[in-house]
């Protein structure tokens, strides 16, 4: 039985297979409509979510399965002090697979050690978010047709942004990828990730200037400043508007730049950018559903 806790739990070949399945689902949805008949997905969301939870639920429903779950720790027995291990042992009696989001880093991993069914990490604190990365990878594959030799700009809250951490780990495995890490000094990529990049000899540059970085980028991954992870409201207010992507800033960008954002957006991308053909963030949302369908099939070992 396999769980998905970290994106590197999947090999590059397995990611290729998931992408191939997702593309086949997009082309032939009817073929998949009953694949998970009588299977149940539980969504255990101890933290807010719109897209990720509904995307998992839509994915399971489109596979002919059904869904149970809760959103918000206050609605669950966690409010009574139950451990995540006990929660998943109980939920595993009702469901065939569990998607879990939790504010504590490592909680889905701990849960997977005691769970009778596969656990999917749907975001753990400021740590990882592997299924958002799968959505990002499917988007990059569909937009760019490749993962090699891309200059990947990541902009905003690179410290607390878990989608950034997982995407760096995923993209680090492809040849010729260079990262341009654009953030205020206070929100730089955590040191452990920088050390990994150094150790693997992966090229990266850290800068505070989106304008300077723009002309070189093939991908620009914008992120929200993660208010909920700040200890101090004044710091959040000072940093929240560090980067706002607008049409003026895109003037020096490549014609085939791919603009991404895991969403929700607060104001990092002005709405005028939404109509630019380079804006890919709503495509990411749709791709997220298809790749989660592929992942559910894989973890449930449904052929």
Sorted by sequence, the CB contacts under 8 Å of residue 293 that are 6+ apart come out as: 21, 22, 25, 32, 59, 62, 63
Q: Which stretch binds ligand NCD (CB under 6 A): 38-46, 65-73, 81-89, 261-269?
A: 261-269
Q: Which stretch binds ligand NCD (CB under 6 A): 16-24, 139-147, 208-216, 260-268?
A: 260-268
Q: Least distance to ligand NCD from the beta carbon of 123, Å?
A: 5
Q: Select from 35, 142, 169, 224 the one that contacts ligand NCD (CB under 6 A).
A: 224
Which residue is it, tokens 């086949």?
24
Q: Least distance to ligand NCD from the beta carbon of 89, Å?
A: 26
Tokens of 117: 């069914």
- DSSP for 221-250, please give it: EE----GGG-S-HHHHHHHTTS--B-TTGG
Between 122 and 213, name the residue whose CB sits nearer to ligand NCD: 122
Convert residues 124-143 into a mask of x (bound to ligand NCD by CB under 6 A) and - (unbound): -----x--x-----------
Rounded CA Rg of the chain: 19
Q: Least distance to ligand NCD from the beta carbon of 223, Å?
A: 6
Q: Least distance to ligand NCD from the beta carbon of 159, Å?
A: 12
DSSP code for 50:
S
The number of residues that bind ligand NCD (CB under 6 A) is 11
Rounded CA separation 108/220 (Å): 29
Q: Which stretch binds ligand NCD (CB under 6 A): 13-21, 170-178, 188-196, 259-267?
A: 259-267
Closest-CA residue to 147 (of 155, 160, 138, 156): 138
Rounded CA separation 296/292 (Å): 6
Q: Select from 52, 71, 128, 133 the one that contacts ligand NCD (CB under 6 A).
A: 52
Which residue is it, tokens 């990611």?
15
Convert residues 144-183 into a mask of x (bound to ligand NCD by CB under 6 A) and - (unbound): ------------------xx--------------------
Angle at 287 between CA 129 and CA 131, to 5 degrees: 15
Question: Contact positions toward ligand NCD, by CB under 6 A?
Answer: 51-52, 123, 129, 132, 162-163, 224, 262-264
């Amino acid at each position: 039985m396999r769980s998905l806790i970290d994106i590197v739990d999947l090999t590059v070949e397995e990611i290729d297979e998931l992408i191939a399945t997702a593309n086949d689902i997009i082309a032939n949805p009817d073929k998949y409509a009953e694949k998970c008949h009588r299977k149940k997905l539980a969504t255990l969301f101890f933290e807010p979510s719109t897209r990720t939870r509904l995307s998992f639920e839509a994915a399971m429903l489109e596979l002919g399965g059904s869904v149970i779950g809760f959103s918000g720790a206050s609605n669950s027995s966690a409010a009574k002090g139950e451990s995540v291990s006990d929660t998943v042992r109980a939920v595993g009696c009702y469901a065939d697979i569990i998607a879990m989001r939790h504010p504590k880093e490592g909680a889905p991993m701990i849960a997977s050690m005691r769970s009778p069914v596969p656990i999917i990490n749907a975001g753990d604190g400021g740590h990882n978010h592997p299924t958002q990365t799968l959505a990002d990878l499917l988007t990059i594959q569909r937009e760019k047709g490749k993962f090699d030799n891309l200059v990947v700009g990541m902009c905003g809250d690179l410290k607390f942004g878990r989608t950034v951490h997982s995407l760096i780990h995923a993209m680090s495995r492809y040849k010729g990828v260079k990262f341009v890490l654009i953030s205020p000094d206070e929100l730089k990529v955590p040191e452990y990730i920088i050390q990994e990049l150094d150790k693997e000899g992966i090229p990266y540059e850290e800068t505070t200037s989106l304008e300077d970085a723009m002309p070189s980028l093939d991908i620009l991954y914008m992120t929200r400043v993660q208010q909920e992870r700040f200890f101090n409201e004044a710091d959040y207010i000072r940093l929240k508007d560090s980067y706002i992507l607008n049409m003026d800033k895109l003037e020096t960008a490549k014609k085939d730049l791919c603009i991404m954002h895991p969403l929700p957006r607060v104001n990092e991308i002005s709405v005028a950018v939404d109509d630019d053909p380079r804006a890919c963030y709503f495509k990411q949302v749709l791709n997220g559903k298809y790749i989660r369908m592929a992942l559910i099939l894989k973890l449930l070992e449904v052929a």
